Amino acid sequence: MGFVNLLTMAKRFSGIIAILLLLRLTTAAASHEFCDAGMGYNVVGCGGSDSSSRRILIKGGTVVNAHHQEVADVYIDDGIIADVKPNIKKSHLQVGDEVAVIDATGKFVMPGGIDPHTHLEMEFMGTDSTETIDDFFSGQAAALAGGTTMHIDFVMPVNGSLSLGFKAYVEKAKKSCMDYGFHMTITKWDDTVAREMEIMVKEKGINSFKFFLAYKGIVMINDELLLEGLKKCKSLGALAMVHAENGDAVFEGQKRMIELGITGPEGHALSRPPLLEAEATARAIRLAGFINTPLYIVHVMSIDAMEEIAKARKLGQRVVGEPVVSGLVLNDSGLWDPDFNIAAKFVMSPPIRAPGHGRALQAAVSMGVLQGFHVVPENTGKSAFGKLVGTDHCTFNSTQKAFGIDDFRKIPNGVNGIEERMHLVWDTMVASGKISVTDYVRITSTECARIFNIYPKKGAILPGSDADIIILNPNSSFQISSNSHHSRSDTNVYEGWIGKGKVEITIVGGRIVWENNELKVNLGSGKYIKMPPFNYLFDGIEKADVSYISSLRAPVNRFKAMQ
Ligand code: URP
Ligand code: ZN
Ligand code: ZN
């Protein structure tokens, strides 16, 4: 029986049986038991043979990059895109017999999605800590089934140590079946952390650091630490990222809800209104402006926060706002559902907002993506937001969510999305005419590759790029259900969604891993992608420092008083 079928079965059982089955699967993945268990996987790296073709010719599709689209063929050889042009003839390839030919007529051939924001196998939320249910195997398998071929996950330090955190994540990621990169989270400040940040950038391939302005008493940092972090990021050419909510005020809001007797999931949304997201967003933007370093605001969920970003961009500040798919397409009504299990699955931070916010964020995405790639003077005056869309995939099953059955503060925060993002963005934004297909490629793949400095290895269909490709049929449809998804979770916040446009084929590292609704992933085949510092947001930043220094008219040369 395949892993996928087993998972589906496990989800149908309730309570303990499901947990036992899922635990069995978790252990199996971790111990490479998949190699022996006949789970239907073609496993590279533990004795399995990989029979899939190393040469693939995709014929007749519309090949889409962020800058251009045309009907062309794509030839893949040994994991790399070898050629992209119209009418490549199989007989002209001089490569022997083994070329798999895919007919993509009438379909879009696009770079695989890159998800800038995930939390796989992450321990989270302090004393009541629990671990996200998707690990680097199940989370990535889900991603591939939905057309995402790379993601960037947030490493959590171990007792504040970045090196120990990095080591732990290297271990976790050994199960990978697609390429991945790491951001690093900073939860405390001292000389060791500062030194380790340098090692992370110069030796370990990390070019971004996340600071939490919320989760008081768990991972929240104060302004003093944020300023230290921003300075260090700037000196290393690393991108500073913030979770922008005012954690002290959220704490106050939570107390207020409990005092009012509001203990259910709706209390989560009521305790941390958009105002608190806007305050922290504005504060982080101003502090990054004060240091003069680029800033990336993760999971922007409200109009209020988005407007702070747009305002800063209008003034020429280098700020990236990352909308996530839950914030774009969902609204907060689920949090008021009388069934705790349904309501709790929507708990994430910042919270999913009232309906108007999602629509406004969608509009901002469609405006943002119309501007050019580079932060250059002629672009800085335009409204800009959301040139990429992430997921914040951070999945807990209903048993884990039930830790907070009597107190919303204990519900582990996070929702799914790694498998659904590509479909939902297509359905909501492209099929509805809000953005073009080239914009779709930009926001689901290319801009992420550019911001994290791995373009055009990733994020493009160009000769020399990695062969991470999807084939999407705009005339086909998709349906989302926890019975058929590939996450280990027994719930899905997009349950029942039916939409247009289906990823029919996913190719990762030059291998077809998703076709005919079947997954053939290779445990351990994913590679860690090092991401170099000094992305395009840093271009010319030193000029602003020079003009700042020369604008000071100080120190003033004063006459010494006569003795
Ligand atoms: O609720 C969320 N967003 N969980 C994941 C951790 C984070 O804040 O990104
Ligand atoms: Zn966050
Ligand atoms: Zn997150």
Q: Say if residues 398 and 330 touch (Cβ distance below 8 Å).
A: no
Query: Mean of the pLDDT values across residues 78-103?
Result: 87
Ligand 1, atom 3, lies closest to the CA of: 349
pLDDT at 462 (0 to 100): 98
Instruction: Please check the confidence at residue 146 and state whether its pLDDT lies above 60.
Output: yes
The model's pTM: 0.91
Whether pLDDT at 413 is above 50: yes
Element (H, E) at 12: helix 3-12
Which has more pLDDT, 75 or 562? 75
- What is the whole-number distance in angstroms between the Cα of residue 123 and the centre of ligand 2? 14
CA of 244 to the centre of ligand 1 (A): 11
**How far is 67 from 59, CA to CA, in rounded Å?**
21
In total, the chain counts a number of residues equal to 563
Across the chain, mean pLDDT equals: 89
Q: For residue 310, what are its two tokens? A: 């747009």
pLDDT value for 29: 38
Cα of 82 vs centre of ligand 2, distance in Å, is 39
Please report which ligand is nearest the Cα atom of 116: 3
What is the DSSP pairing of strand 100-103 with strand 55-64?
parallel
| pLDDT tens, position by position, 177-200 | 999 999 999 999 999 999 999 999
Closest listed ligand to the CA of 327: 1
Q: How far is the CA of 41 from the centre of ligand 2 (A)?
A: 33
pLDDT for 18 beyond 50: no
For range 41-49, the mean pLDDT = 41
Report the pLDDT value the prediction gives residue 489, as an integer from 0 to 100: 98
pLDDT score recorded for residue 475: 98
- 118: phi then psi, degrees, rounded to nearest 5: -140, 160
Counting ligand 1 atoms within 8 A of each CB, the residue from 119, 345, 410 with the most, and so the one to mutate, is: 119
Whole-number Å distance between alpha carbons of 390 and 124: 19
Looking at residue 128, its pLDDT comes to 52
Cβ neighbours, 10 Å, residue 21: 17
What CA–CA distances, in Å, run from 150 to 128, 182, 292, 390, 444? 30, 11, 30, 12, 11
Nearest atom in ligand 1 to the alpha carbon of residue 210 is 9
Ligand 1, atom nearest to 214 Cα = 8
- Two tokens, residue 534: 């000094």
How confident is residue 108, by pLDDT bands cut at 50, 70 and 90?
Answer: very high
CB under 6 Å to ligand 1: residues? 119, 243, 299, 348-349, 392, 394, 413-414
Q: What is the rounded distance in angstroms from the CA atom of residue 472 to the CA atom of residue 418?
A: 17
pLDDT tens per residue across span 441-474 = 999 999 999 999 999 999 999 999 999 999 999 9
Q: Coil, strand, or helix at residue 324?
A: strand
Ligand 1 pocket test, candidate residues 326, 394, 395, most atoms within 8 A of CB: 394
| Nearest listed ligand to the Cα of residue 130 | 1
- Which pLDDT tens digit goes with each residue over 289-301? 999 999 999 999 9
Q: What is d(CA 232, CA 226) in angstroms, rounded to the nearest whole number?
A: 10
CA distances from 462 to 68, 233, 374 (A): 11, 31, 20
Flag whether pLDDT at 84 surpasses 90. yes
Residue 517 contacts residue 147 (beta carbons within 8 Å): no
User: What confidence tier does 126 reach under pLDDT thresholds 50, 70, 90?
Assistant: low
pLDDT for residue 60 is more than 70: yes
Atom from ligand 1 closest to the CA of residue 347: 1
Q: In the structure encoding, which two tokens stand for residue 347, read together?
A: 């708990």
Measured from the CA of 243, which atom of ligand 1 is nearest?
A: 8
* CA 125 – ligand 1 centroid, Å: 10
pLDDT at 124: 85
- The ligand minimizing its distance to the Cα of 241 is 2
Q: Whose CA is nearest to atom 1 of ligand 1?
A: 348
CA-nearest residue, atom 4 of ligand 1 = 414
CB 305 within 8 A of CB 250: no
Nearest CA to ligand 1 atom 5: 414
Q: Give residue 296's identity as a one-letter amino acid code.
A: Y
Please give the pLDDT value at position 90: 76
Tell me the average pLDDT across 338-347: 98
Rounded to the nearest angstrom, the distance between the alpha carbon of 439 and the centre of ligand 2 is: 26
Residue 377 has pLDDT above 60, yes or no: no
Can you give the pLDDT at residue 92? 67
Neighbours of 275 (CB within 10 A): 14
Residue corresponding to tokens 């029979």: 51
| Closest atom, ligand 1, to C-alpha of 215 | 8
C-alpha 199/C-alpha 222 separation (Å) is 24
Angstrom distance (rounded) from CA 235 to CA 306: 27
Predicted pLDDT of residue 466: 98
Is the pLDDT assigned to residue 142 strictly greater than 70?
yes
- Predicted confidence at residue 434, as pLDDT, reads 95
In this predicted structure, the answer to whether residue 10 has a pLDDT above a threshold of 70 is no
Residue 41 tokens, joined: 């996987």
The helix (H) or strand (E) run that includes residue 58 is strand 55-64
413 Cα–ligand 1 center, Å: 6
Q: Which of 129-133, 171-175, 411-415 has the lowest mean pLDDT?
A: 129-133
At 505, list the tokens: 């084929």
Mean pLDDT of 308-319: 93
Cβ neighbours of residue 13 closer than 8 Å, sequence gap 6 or more: 21
Structure confidence at residue 27 as a pLDDT band (50, 70, 90): very low
Atom of ligand 1 nearest to the CA of 349: 1
pLDDT of residue 129: 60
Q: Which pLDDT value is given to residue 89?
A: 87
Atom of ligand 1 nearest to the CA of 119: 5
Minimum-distance ligand to the CA of 392? Answer: 3
Q: Is the pLDDT of residue 426 over 60?
A: yes
Tell me, what's the pLDDT at 14? 35
